[in-house]
Amino acid sequence: MKKNHNDVWKSCLTIIRDNIPSTSFRTWFIPIVPIKLERNILTIQVPSAFFYEYLEEQYIDILRKTLRKELGVDAMLEYSIVVDSNTSVNSKPYTVKLPAKDNINLKGQPVSLPLSNESQIKNPFIIPGIKKVHINPQLNPEYSFKNFIEGDCNRLGRSAGYALANNPGKTAFNPLFIYGGTGLGKTHLAQAIGIEVKARYPEKTVLYVPAHKFVQQFSEATRNNNRNDFLHFYQMIDVLIIDDVHEFAGKEKSQDTFFHIFNHLHQSGKQLILTSDRPPIELTGLSKRLISRFKWGLSADLQSPDYYTRVAILKQKVYNSGIELADDIIDYIASNIDSHVRELEGALVTLIAQSTFNKKTITIELAKKIIDKIVKQTKREITIDYIQKVVCDYFEMNIDVLQSKTRKREIVQARQIAMYFSKNMTNSSLSTIGSQIGGKDHATVLHAYKTVNNLVETNKEFKSYIGDIEKKLKFY
Is residue 357 predicted with pLDDT exceeding 80?
A: no
Residues in contact with 312: Cβ distance below 8 Å, sequence separation at least 6, in sequence order: 149, 151
Please give the backbone phi and psi of residue 269, each rounded to the nearest 5 degrees, phi first. Answer: 75, 25
Is residue 116 predicted with pLDDT exceeding 70?
A: no
What is 66-119 written as a DSSP string? HHHHHH-TT-EEEEEE-S-TTS-TTSPPEEEEEETTS-B-TTS-B---GGGSGG
Q: What are the structural domains of the chain?
A: 5-111 (3.30.300.180), 146-302 (3.40.50.300), 307-377 (1.10.8.60), 384-474 (1.10.1750.10)
Per-residue model confidence as pLDDT tens digits over 215-234: 989 988 888 888 888 888 89
User: What is the 8-class DSSP label of residue 146?
Assistant: G
Pairing of strands 33-38, 206-210: unpaired
Percent over 90 (pLDDT), the chain: 28
pTM of the model: 0.53
Is residue 308 predicted with pLDDT exceeding 80?
A: yes
Interval 409-417 mean pLDDT? 93
Report the half-sphere exposure of 45 (CA within 13 A, side-chain side). Answer: 13
pLDDT at 293: 92
Give the angle subtended at the CA of 258 by the CAs of 145 and 166, to the nearest 5°. Answer: 30
pLDDT at 374: 66
Interval 78-104 mean pLDDT? 46
Gap between the Cα atoms of 270 and 167, Å rounded: 10
Interval 356-368 mean pLDDT? 76
Pairing of strands 41-46, 33-38: antiparallel
User: What is the 8-class DSSP label of residue 176?
Assistant: E
Gap between the Cα atoms of 209 and 254, Å rounded: 14
Residues in contact with 413: Cβ distance below 8 Å, sequence separation at least 6, in sequence order: none
Please report which confidence band the pLDDT of residue 198 belongs to, taking 50, 70 and 90 as the band edges: very high
Gap between the Cα atoms of 7 and 44, Å rounded: 13
User: What is the 8-class DSSP label of residue 30?
Assistant: T
Burial of 259 (0-12, 13-18, 19+ CB in 10 A): middle
Please report which confidence band the pLDDT of residue 177 belongs to, taking 50, 70 and 90 as the band edges: very high
pLDDT at 124: 52
Please report which confidence band the pLDDT of residue 387 belongs to, taking 50, 70 and 90 as the band edges: very high
Helix (H, G, I), strand (E, B) or coil at 364: helix
